[in-house]
């Protein structure tokens, strides 16, 4: 007993002097996507160096389970300090008190591309630091279009797009004019939003929290999306965007909409051209603006430090490093910070030039329910199960419950 007591005292003294740092603090951050990039590791190392005693613990979780994990931890009262999530989750997290609103430095606000902060804002407050960004464009297989007797030139209007797709469908055996998503998946809604924004439409006003879907803009967009099923691959309801890419590589479709990463996933033997998404009757050549963001969680005891780290992660220096490493659409106007724009060739300009005409991914408290309502509306149009005006009106009414 005497030996045990002496040992315990010695252990306590050792811990006191060597094993305990009164200033030690660990920040636990989750990165959705299943990958920790070099930029993430480098910024953590610099932050640790500037803040002795602080340790950054990054955890990478695949997208399929990540956001549910982050949300469930917060609901259970055991939130992470910060997380890289889809900005679509921010409104629900904010409304339930799980995250804090953030103050992006005024000097940095003006550096973002137009519309970026709309993807993370709700009722006048910013709920996440934008971290990754993408726009969309139309990819065209020139060989298939020319085989159908169509010049491989970017369509400026929906009518021109349909005519091109119809020519391929009618004149090239075994090939559909355009790939269309209809699967119960988030990018079905995203694909439709590209058309909605290209027709001057909107789902919800982020400043007033008012549902604005029920409009002639949306009715036209939905009717055209349903019409595209006539010149698309068979059974669009079985397809999401990555499967369209497979069809393109197999030369089963001539065109589809994708993000800037598309070029690196297409077979080298394809004669591809990338152009802006065509305009609807009431709009311009727009696109959907999607961001992923760093959210800082409430009730951790580390809010101030986590906010400081999140601000550093998304500062111009580190954002530029991530964009150039990953190949993302530039989230900032880098010439404003004295850095050379990371991408300025014709390919990238298709994605960059569209930014000013784009619209944000709508924010809803229950983003999964929002997605389900939108997909049901889209699937109804593809299947011809209702008048587009009725489908839009019904969806708009249902969305009131989830805003």
Phi/psi class of residue 292: alpha, beta or left (left: φ > 0; alpha: ψ in -120 to 50)? Answer: beta
pTM of the model: 0.87
Domains of the chain: 2-134+290-356 (3.40.190.10), 137-286+364-399 (3.40.190.10)
3-class DSSP assignment, residue 18 = helix
C-alpha separations of 337 from 309, 333, 365 in Å? 20, 8, 35
Could you give the CA distance from residue 358 to residue 339 in angstroms, rounded to a whole number?
A: 24
Could you give the CA distance from residue 100 to residue 113 in angstroms, rounded to a whole number?
A: 23
- C-beta of residue 129 within 8 angstroms of C-beta of residue 103: no
- C-beta of residue 175 within 8 angstroms of C-beta of residue 168: yes
Which one-letter DSSP state was computed for residue 363? P
pLDDT tens track of the chain, all 403 residues? 333 333 344 444 433 344 444 468 999 999 999 899 999 999 999 999 999 999 999 999 999 899 999 999 999 999 999 999 999 999 999 999 999 999 998 889 999 999 999 999 988 899 999 999 999 999 999 999 999 999 999 999 999 999 999 999 999 999 999 999 999 998 999 999 999 999 999 999 988 999 999 999 999 999 999 999 999 999 999 999 999 999 999 999 999 999 999 999 999 999 999 999 999 999 999 999 999 999 999 999 999 999 999 999 999 999 999 998 988 889 999 887 788 877 878 899 999 999 989 999 999 999 999 999 999 999 999 999 999 999 999 999 999 999 9
């Amino acid at each position: 007993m005497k030996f045990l007591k002496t040992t315990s005292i010695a252990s306590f003294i050792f811990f006191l002097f060597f094993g305990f740092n009164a200033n030690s603090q660990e920040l636990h951050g989750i990165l959705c996507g299943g990958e920790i990039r070099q930029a993430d590791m480098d910024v953590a190392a610099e932050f640790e160096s500037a803040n002795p005693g602080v340790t950054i613990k990054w955890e990478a979780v695949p997208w399929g389970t990540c956001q549910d994990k982050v949300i469930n931890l917060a609901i259970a009262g055991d939130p992470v300090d910060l997380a890289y999530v889809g900005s679509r989750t921010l409104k629900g997290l904010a409304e339930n008190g799980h995250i804090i609103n953030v103050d992006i430095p005024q000097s940095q606000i003006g550096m973002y591309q137009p519309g970026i902060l709309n993807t993370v804002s709700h009722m006048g407050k910013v709920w996440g630091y934008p971290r990754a960004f993408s726009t969309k464009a139309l990819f065209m297989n020139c060989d298939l279009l020319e085989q159908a007797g169509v010049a491989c030139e970017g369509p400026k209007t929906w009518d021109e797009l349909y005519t091109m797709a119809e020519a391929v469908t009618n004149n090239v055996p075994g090939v559909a004019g355009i790939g269309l998503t209809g699967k119960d998946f988030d990018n079905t809604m995203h694909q439709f939003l590209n058309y909605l924004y290209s027709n001057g439409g909107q789902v919800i006003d982020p400043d007033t929290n008012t549902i604005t879907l029920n409009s002639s803009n949306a009715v036209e967009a939905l009717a055209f999306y349903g019409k595209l099923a006539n010149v698309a691959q068979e059974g669009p309801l079985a397809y999401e965007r990555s499967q369209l890419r497979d069809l393109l590589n197999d030369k089963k479709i001539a065109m589809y909409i994708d993000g800037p990463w598309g070029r690196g996933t297409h077979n080298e033997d394809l004669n591809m051209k990338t152009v802006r998404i065509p305009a609807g009757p009431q709009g311009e050549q727009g696109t959907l603006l999607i961001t992923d963001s760093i959210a800082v969680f409430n009730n951790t005891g580390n809010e101030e430090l986590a906010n400081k780290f999140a601000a550093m992660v998304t500062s111009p220096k580190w954002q530029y490093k991530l964009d150039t490493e990953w190949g993302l659409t530039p989230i900032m106007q880098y010439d404003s910070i004295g850095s050379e724009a990371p991408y300025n060739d014709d390919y990238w300009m298709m994605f960059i030039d569209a930014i000013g005409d784009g619209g944000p991914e709508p924010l809803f408290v229950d983003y999964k329910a929002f997605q389900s309502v939108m997909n049901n509306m889209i699937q109804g149009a593809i299947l011809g199960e209702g008048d587009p005006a009725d489908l839009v009106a019904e969806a708009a009414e249902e969305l009131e419950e989830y805003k």
